[in-house]
Structure 1
Amino acid sequence: MRYANLLRTRLPSLSITCSLRHGTSRRFTVLALESSADDSCAAVVTSDRKILSNVVINQQAFVEEYGGIHPFVALHAHQRNMPGAVQRALKEANLTINEVDGIAFTRGPGIPGCLSVCGNAARTLAAAVNKPLVGVHHMQAHALTPFLTSPTEALPTFPFLTLLVSGGHTLLLLATSRIAFRILATTLDESIGNAYDKVAKLLKIPYSGRAPGAALEQFCTSGEDDAPEIHMPRPMRGRLAFSYTGLHSTVERYLDAQRGELDECARLGIARSFQKAAVGQLEDKLALGIQQCTQRGIKVQHLVVSGGVASNTFLRERLRACLDAESPDERIELVFPPPHLCTDNAAMIAWAAMDRFLAGDTDEYSLESRPKWSLEDLEAGEGESNR
């Protein structure tokens, strides 16, 4: 019985493999779903790098109300939003569900309840219309986004370094293939994005429809240039590891010591101090990562930066300066997806799944989500259902 079930779930991928191997030039079209955190996303992407639709329904009002992502609230918002996101993605792509060739979804990592929404929707849709299914690693998708968005003459070449900075992750990785990633540094406590959000809330920075971190960045560009700054720690000096709890705790302690409302100039100085320290830590670890690669004879020509924090202009300027300082003789190219594809989206999920679809390496409809899932496990487990 188990063998019969396996055949039923694998038949769609076998037909794909045969048609492609016999020279069919028709492009392959993927509908992808993403709901690992607070954005309900659906997109349709083709094998010739065309984004036919990319729908993102955010929960910014709830983030503002609760001062961050509330898992239970986010789960119910995803349940309300996902059907409409899928419908819009198909409509904008001018396709029906039966015209889609495969369905992908974010398998992990992420908030367990939130992951269940895109997972259940994708599995049900794929089973209902007999389409192949692929579960995708969220951070792998971020790292591979430039292969979808960059000009063909400027695609990253393996091996390359990738810095993934978001509300849930702070990772410096060495990518040696599409599925092979080595973690050089990760956070020992909270992510850079989470620290940005907490400091924005502590400083009572108006969001004005933006994410908290984006609001803080915008706030830092306002006002006078001589706003008084405060001392911020630079933790883990000389060590390939990130730590951001100390930064937002420093801001919290400073505010408590003031025992009252700060004027605009003082708040501006604190925000700028935090941002310089937060990005400065990325610079420190990136320099160490480059040095480690050089010592091991690994030549990297690209740094891919993705995740929500990657849209920060100050961060982009400082990373460029860091790369030039560490590799003055051989330029390391700095690669960013477009800002709207730095944050969570389903287009990157579709693209990350594309190679597996084209190879006929698909998953069973019973594939489970993985809220905790190291990128280093991806290479060993690729193609194994429920791995």
Structure 2
Amino acid sequence: MIVLGIESSCDETGIAIYDTEKGLIANQLHTQMAMHAEYGGVVPELASRDHIRRLVPLTQAALQESGLQYSDLDAIAYTQGPGLGGALLAGSAYANALAFALDKPVLPIHHLEGHLLSPLLADEVPEFPFVALLVSGGHTQFMAVRDFGDYELLGETVDDAAGEAFDKTGKLIGLPYPAGAILSQYAKLGQPETFSFPRPMLHSPDLQMSFSGLKTAVLTAVEKTRAELNLSPTDTLPEQTRNDICRAFQDAVVDVLVAKAKRALLQTGFRCLVVAGGVGANWKLREELANLTVQSTPKGQLERVQTYFPPLPLCTDNGAMIAFAGAMRLQHKVAQAQRAGAFDVKPRWSLREIVRENVQAA
């Protein structure tokens, strides 16, 4: 079974082809990062228009990469949501038009399910069940994943997603777009514990998280530093001070995510953790979670956790995860392919709805 995957939920246009016998055989991606950098963030209308320009050339490139023809495709999978409405419509309209022209079925895919399953595209594949940490610019959630289509939300951020907090904090200290990725690089050069920021909800007994307060703590530290150094609001911070703030902020976010990951593993009894989403590429988070251990009882022995990450190129939005999710939903019969013609998108779409749909279909 050969599935073409289309991803257009935000500012990356992804086209990929997954073969259930050969694996991922083509993966084409265009990022709009340079275009949006001029505006300091994603402009939805520009994102939608750029998707329209890129979809056909990227599809042709994917077919050339795989050595296939349009007629070789068995189904078209596309991101139905969540995401930017206009961007999703660009992908949905293209997917349905292509499927109609080829007389192929279409599969609307939940964007987060794509991220959730993306580590299964790595060389070392996790086994079910596992705890999944979805951590990106739009979402930060812990999920119990028992099988394909069997997902349970354990906890999530009550305000900013971790990636959103990275971007907003980076912008706050004067870093250019995409500020979060640049902040992470500067954090490597920072001295730990020069600044100290709070760890919101670190000790709460649940798996909820909060990151918006960290921005306020950073703002307070920046304003205090400017006053101490007699800097104007337009003056840049000294490089080492900037690096130290980046390090302190990153350490605070990572400490919360690691503590909550341990709690999720203890709560479920699972000893396998899967990390997906753009923030999964963060060097500090990968370092901490790769060596994660849990202690199931106060005096019990430490148990090593098996931690899996998607390949770095698949941490951001991409067509590969959509093609794979579509193929797996068909192969495991947790969804039926549809006839082309439905152009509806779901900009706000809870992953809980996927579970309900699967139960009803069963």
TM (normalized to structure 1)? 0.83
Shift in alpha-carbon separation, 1:256–1:72, aligned structure 2, 3 A: farther
Cα distance in structure 2, aligned partners of 1:115 and 1:381: 21
Segment drifting more, 362-371 vs 271-280? 362-371
Q: Could you tell me which residue of structure 2 aligns to residue 216 of structure 1?
A: 183
Q: Could you tell me which residue of structure 2 aligns to residue 202 of structure 1?
A: 172
Q: Could you tell me which residue of structure 2 aligns to residue 255 of structure 1?
A: 222
Secondary structure class of the residue paired with 1:382: helix
Confirm or deny that 1:150 pairs with 2:123.
yes
Confirm or deny that 1:287 pairs with 2:262.
yes
Cα distance in structure 2, aligned partners of 1:117 and 1:383: 30
Segment drifting more, 357-366 vs 237-246? 357-366
Cα distance in structure 2, aligned partners of 1:361 and 1:163: 27
Confirm or deny that 1:232 pairs with 2:197.
yes
Q: Could you tell me which residue of structure 2 aligns to residue 275 of structure 1?
A: 250
Quote the offset at 1:73 in angstroms: 1.8
Q: Could you tell me which residue of structure 2 aligns to residue 374 of structure 1?
A: 350
Quote the offset at 1:206 in angstroms: 5.4
Contact 1:356 1:362 in 2 (8 A): no
Segment drifting more, 82-91 vs 343-352? 82-91
Quote the offset at 1:348 in angstroms: 0.8
Q: Return the letter of the residue paired with 2:264.
A: G
Match among 187, 190, 207 for residue 160 of structure 2: 190
Shift in alpha-carbon separation, 1:363–1:369, aligned structure 2, 3 A: same
Q: Deviations over 1:236-274 (max 9, x none)?
A: 231321111111222123323425332111111111110
Q: Return the letter of the residue paired with 1:377.
A: E
Q: Which runs of 5+ in 1 are unaligned?
A: 1-27, 294-298
Segment drifting more, 324-333 vs 131-140? 324-333
Q: Deviations over 1:88-137 (max 9, x none)?
A: 11121122212211111011111111111111110110011101111111
Q: Return the letter of the residue paired with 2:186.
A: F
Secondary structure class of the residue paired with 2:147: coil
Cα distance in structure 2, aligned partners of 1:281 and 1:220: 17
Quote the offset at 1:49 in angstroms: 4.7
Cα distance in structure 2, aligned partners of 1:85 and 1:55: 6
- Give the number of equivalent residue pairs: 344
- Describe how 1:71-86 pairs up with structure 2 within 5 A: 71-86=44-59
- Describe how 1:272-351 pairs up with structure 2 within 5 A: 272-293=247-268, 299-321=269-291, 323-326=292-295, 328-351=301-324
Contact 1:44 1:347 in 2 (8 A): yes
Q: Could you tell me which residue of structure 2 aligns to residue 108 of structure 1?
A: 81
Contact 2:189 2:244 in 1 (8 A): no
Q: Return the letter of the residue paired with 1:101.
A: D
| Runs of 4+ residues deviating >6 angstroms | none
Q: Return the letter of the residue paired with 2:321.
A: M
Q: Return the letter of the residue paired with 1:370.
A: K
Q: Return the letter of the residue paired with 2:57.
A: G
Q: Return the letter of the residue paired with 2:274.
A: V
Contact 1:205 1:219 in 2 (8 A): no
Confirm or deny that 1:243 pairs with 2:210.
yes
Confirm or deny that 1:31 pairs with 2:7.
no
Q: Deviations over 1:266-299 (max 9, x none)?
A: 1111111100011111012112212322xxxxx3
Secondary structure class of the residue paired with 1:330: strand
Q: Deviations over 1:298-327 (max 9, x none)?
A: x31310001011011110112234x31446
Cα distance in structure 1, aligned partners of 2:90 and 2:36: 19
Cα distance in structure 1, aligned partners of 2:135 and 2:100: 34
Q: Return the letter of the residue paired with 2:253.
A: A
Cα distance in structure 1, aligned partners of 2:94 and 2:157: 32
Secondary structure class of the residue paired with 1:369: coil
Segment drifting more, 190-199 vs 87-96? 87-96
Q: Could you tell me which residue of structure 2 aligns to residue 6 of structure 1?
A: none
Cα distance in structure 2, aligned partners of 1:40 and 1:233: 37
Shift in alpha-carbon separation, 1:342–1:130, aligned structure 2, 3 A: same
Contact 1:185 1:285 in 2 (8 A): no
Q: Could you tell me which residue of structure 1 aligns to residue 36 of structure 2?
A: 63
Shift in alpha-carbon separation, 1:75–1:383, aligned structure 2, 3 A: farther
Cα distance in structure 1, aligned partners of 2:22 and 2:79: 19
Q: Return the letter of the residue paired with 1:290.
A: L
What percentage of residue pairs aligned between the two structures are identical? 37
Q: Could you tell me which residue of structure 2 aligns to residue 361 of structure 1?
A: 336
Q: Could you tell me which residue of structure 2 aligns to residue 165 of structure 1?
A: 135
Q: Could you tell me which residue of structure 2 aligns to residue 25 of structure 1?
A: none
Quote the offset at 1:384 in angstroms: 8.1
Q: Could you tell me which residue of structure 2 aligns to residue 12 of structure 1?
A: none
